[in-house]
A and B are shown apart, each in its own frame.
Chain A
Amino acid sequence: MRLEVEITGKTFRSAAGGTHEVLAPVRFALQSGEVGVLIGPSGCGKSTMLRIILGLDHDFAGRITRPPEARIGMVFQEPRLLPWRSVEQNVRLAAPDVADAKLAELFKILELEAHRNHYPGELSLGLARRVALARAFAVEPDILVLDEPLASLDDALAGRLRDEIATLVASRPVMTLLVTHSLDDAVRLGDRLFFLSPRPARIVAEVPIPIPRDRRGEAEIAAIKAGLAQRTQGDRTERDVS
């Protein structure tokens, strides 16, 4: 299974009548089992790109190729749960075929067992994020899209949730697209990093990480980050010279 993104441009017309370019030409592809990470400054057009890839926005130039039968699991930036349905119902509505055992396992990993019958309004943001994760994984997705799943959580919680995401992603062959502005998250979870420019977004650099995810210790992660820092610094001096 393969996801090919070929966006040649996306503009939108503002209320004042002017046209704004949101996306410059963007091209990349992802394979099954791979975790691609889109990293870029906030407001660069990442969310627009995601909406196009997910098929929510058809008003763009270019082409998205993904298998039509591919199931999508998505974690939005805001949890987007149905406030009038319980935690369990929220998951089951998105994934009606999920087996009871599978659901129990997910709730156990994400520590949601005690909250099955709670309504989203009764949950903290961290818990609501976990429900959103449970929902995305319960559909057993072929394509998993995570849009800043750890934003606005404290470091300790974000770290634990990141480990949980890593466990879940490793547990089945799924093509994952993670959007983040945290280099740390990107290096810990990603296989290939796509660095985006400020708006209109284009891919400035594509960096594969050759070390498999489960073999990256703290030392390796520090080394990768140092390498990336050097690289961006290199870019900067290059630009300064020219």
Chain B
Amino acid sequence: MLRLLSFTLFLAIWWIAALLVGGAKLPSPPAVLQVMIAEASSGALFLHLGATLARVALAFTLAMSLGSAIGYLMGRVKLADRLGDPWLILLLNLPALVVIVLAYIWAGLTEAAAIAAIAINKLPTAIVTLREGTRALDRSLDEMASVFAMPRWRAFRHVVLPQLAPYIAASARSGLSLVWKIVLVAELLGRPNGVGFEIGVAFQLFDTPRLLAYSLTFAAVVLVIETLLVQPFEARANRWRPRAA
């Protein structure tokens, strides 16, 4: 209910602002909706949205799985931490634009280059979060698992993984928002489709309704994924915690 109210307020402010500055700079909500419907009925909206979502899914999965594995290793093994740390700092501070441009130069304007560039941008934050989580693991529970001779996989699944779950959820959430932002840049610079490409076209034509139509649909999809996937996972991972009164 409160969410709906806050959304209505957002629409109202937008509408008023549109009336004040004029339709060329900020089109009103109905104007944008009209473009959305037109793009949707031609199928272009779904094509571009689909292309972007596929890239996000691939890059995100790649970065999360690789980053989690490396982060866990660096949290557990001191040598890996020492060896990996300088690389990690380098990657963390490398601007996204540099990675994307270099990827396109070295690997050509290809799908693989785009996905790799997006994944590389997300990778270091996933590593850092999971390394922190691994460092915070409760040693006394490891000892318990070892005394009771729990097989490795069972101990990992029931002793280690639940402790890492909040870190994985945090990493997924921050990672998803990062990937959403970077995927558009990668598309703008070197892909012939996707929301980023469309926004680039709209920018060249100064077509604000089109620009808003694409970015708002995109934002809506992000919101849906967040509420339907990320938040339930977090709630499940924290089920055992005594609820705050």
Indicate if the CB atoms of A84 and B240 lie closer than 8 Å. yes
From 127 to 142 in chain B, residues with beta carbon under 8 angstroms from any chain A beta carbon are 140-141
From 102 to 151 in chain B, residues with beta carbon under 8 angstroms from any chain A beta carbon are 140-141, 143-144, 146-150
B242 on the A face (CB < 8 A): yes
Indicate if the CB atoms of A82 and B148 lie closer than 8 Å. no
Indicate if the CB atoms of A56 and B146 lie closer than 8 Å. yes
Point out the residues of chain B lying under 8 angstroms from A82, CB to CB: 141, 158-159, 162
Chain A 74-104, CB within 8 Å of chain B: the 1/0 string? 1010101011110001000111100000000
Indicate if the CB atoms of A76 and B158 lie closer than 8 Å. no
B3 on the A face (CB < 8 A): no
Indicate if the CB atoms of A121 and B240 lie closer than 8 Å. yes
From 107 to 125 in chain A, residues with beta carbon under 8 angstroms from any chain B beta carbon are 119, 121-122
Best-surrounded residue of A51, A71, A89, A93 (most CB of chain B within 10 A): A93
Indicate if the CB atoms of A72 and B141 lie closer than 8 Å. no
Q: Could you say which of B140, B150, B159 contacts A76, with CB atoms under 8 Å apart?
A: B140
- Tally B residues with Cβ within 8 Å of A: 17
CB of B224, distance to nearest CB on chain A (Å)? 28
- Count class of interface residues, chain A: 20 to 34
A139 on the B face (CB < 8 A): yes
CB of A219, distance to nearest CB on chain B (Å)? 38
A203 on the B face (CB < 8 A): no
Indicate if the CB atoms of A93 and B158 lie closer than 8 Å. yes
Best-surrounded residue of A71, A74, A80, A121 (most CB of chain B within 10 A): A80
B181 on the A face (CB < 8 A): no
Point out the residues of chain B lying under 8 angstroms from A83, CB to CB: 240-241
A54 on the B face (CB < 8 A): yes
Point out the residues of chain B lying under 8 angstroms from A54, CB to CB: 147
Give the complex CA separation of A73 and B139 in angstroms: 18
From 14 to 38 in chain B, residues with beta carbon under 8 angstroms from any chain A beta carbon are none
Give B contacts to A, CB under 8 Å: 140-141, 143-144, 146-150, 154, 158-159, 162, 239-242
User: Closest 10 A-B residue pairs measured CB to CB?
Assistant: A84-B240, A84-B162, A94-B148, A80-B144, A74-B147, A121-B242, A119-B240, A56-B143, A54-B147, A93-B158
| Subset of 24 A-B contacts with CB under 8 Å | A54-B147, A55-B146, A55-B147, A72-B147, A74-B147, A74-B148, A80-B140, A80-B143, A82-B158, A82-B159, A83-B240, A84-B240, A85-B158, A93-B150, A93-B158, A94-B150, A95-B148, A119-B240, A119-B242, A121-B241, A121-B242, A122-B242, A135-B148, A145-B147
